[in-house]
Structure 1
Amino acid sequence: MKNLEVSCIKRAFIIYGIMMLVAIVTFIISLVFYPSEEIFKDIASKLPSNSAELKGLDKVWMYVVNNGFTVPLQMFILSLIPIPFLYFLNVISTTIITGIIFGFAIHVVPDFGWILVLSSTPHTLIEILAFCFVASGLWTLNKSIVRKVSNFFRKEKRYGLSILEAMYNLIRVYVFIALPLFIIAAFAETYLTDFIEHVLK
Structure 2
Amino acid sequence: MLNFEDTNWFKRSLKFFILSLAITIISFVLTLIVNPSIDTFKNIARKVPDSVTQAQGLEKVWEYIVHNAAMVPFQMLLLAFIPIPFFYCLNYITTSALLGVICSIAIQIDLHKGISMIISTIPHHFLELFAMCIVVSSLFKLNQSIVRKITNFFRQDKKQNYSFKTACMNLMKSYLLIALPLYILAAFTETYVSNFIYEILQ
Kindly indicate whether residue 54 of structure 2 is the aligned counterpart of residue 50 of structure 1: no
Kindly indicate whether residue 83 of structure 2 is the aligned counterpart of residue 75 of structure 1: no
- Corresponding residue for residue 166 of structure 1: 167
Regions of 4+ moved over 6 Å: none
Task: Name structure 1 gaps, 5 residues minimum.
Answer: none
Count of residue pairs the alignment pairs up: 201
Aligned to 1:43, what secondary structure does the other structure show?
helix
> What letter corresponds to residue 95 of structure 1 in structure 2?
S
- Corresponding residue for residue 23 of structure 2: 22
Work out whether residues 9 and 137 of structure 2, in 8 Å CA contact, stay in contact via their aligned partners in 1.
Answer: yes
Distance (Å, rounded) in 2 between the aligned partners of 1:101 and 1:147: 38
Following superposition, the deviation at residue 3 of structure 1 comes to: 6.0
Change (3 A) 1:4 1:34: farther
- Corresponding residue for residue 115 of structure 2: 114
- Corresponding residue for residue 63 of structure 2: 62
| TM-score (norm. length: structure 1) | 0.95
Work out whether residues 38 and 105 of structure 2, in 8 Å CA contact, stay in contact via their aligned partners in 1.
Answer: no
> What letter corresponds to residue 172 of structure 1 in structure 2?
K
1:138-183, Cα deviation, whole Å (9 max, x unpaired): 0000000001111221233322321111101111111111111100
1:67-110, Cα deviation, whole Å (9 max, x unpaired): 00000000000000000000111011001001000000000111
Please identify, of 41-50 and 59-68, the stretch whose mean Cα deviation from structure 2 is larger.
41-50
Following superposition, the deviation at residue 31 of structure 1 comes to: 2.1
Following superposition, the deviation at residue 51 of structure 1 comes to: 2.3
Change (3 A) 1:6 1:152: closer
Pairing 1:121-132 to 2, within 5 Å after superposition? 121-132=122-133
Distance (Å, rounded) in 2 between the aligned partners of 1:36 and 1:49: 23
- Corresponding residue for residue 149 of structure 1: 150
Task: Name structure 2 gaps, 5 residues minimum.
Answer: none
Please identify, of 139-148 and 107-116, the stretch whose mean Cα deviation from structure 2 is larger.
107-116
Please identify, of 20-29 and 10-19, the stretch whose mean Cα deviation from structure 2 is larger.
20-29
Work out whether residues 38 and 109 of structure 2, in 8 Å CA contact, stay in contact via their aligned partners in 1.
Answer: no
- Corresponding residue for residue 38 of structure 1: 39
> What letter corresponds to residue 102 of structure 1 in structure 2?
C
Distance (Å, rounded) in 2 between the aligned partners of 1:38 and 1:109: 15
Distance (Å, rounded) in 2 between the aligned partners of 1:51 and 1:142: 31
- Corresponding residue for residue 90 of structure 2: 89
Following superposition, the deviation at residue 124 of structure 1 comes to: 0.7
Distance (Å, rounded) in 1 between the aligned partners of 2:166 and 2:49: 35
Aligned to 2:53, what secondary structure does the other structure show?
coil
> What letter corresponds to residue 181 of structure 1 in structure 2?
L
Distance (Å, rounded) in 1 between the aligned partners of 2:156 and 2:40: 50
Work out whether residues 148 and 162 of structure 2, in 8 Å CA contact, stay in contact via their aligned partners in 1.
Answer: no
What is the percentage of aligned positions where both structures have the same residue? 41
Kindly indicate whether residue 132 of structure 2 is the aligned counterpart of residue 135 of structure 1: no
Following superposition, the deviation at residue 64 of structure 1 comes to: 0.5
Change (3 A) 1:70 1:37: same
- Corresponding residue for residue 102 of structure 1: 103
RMSD: 1.5
Aligned to 1:6, what secondary structure does the other structure show?
coil
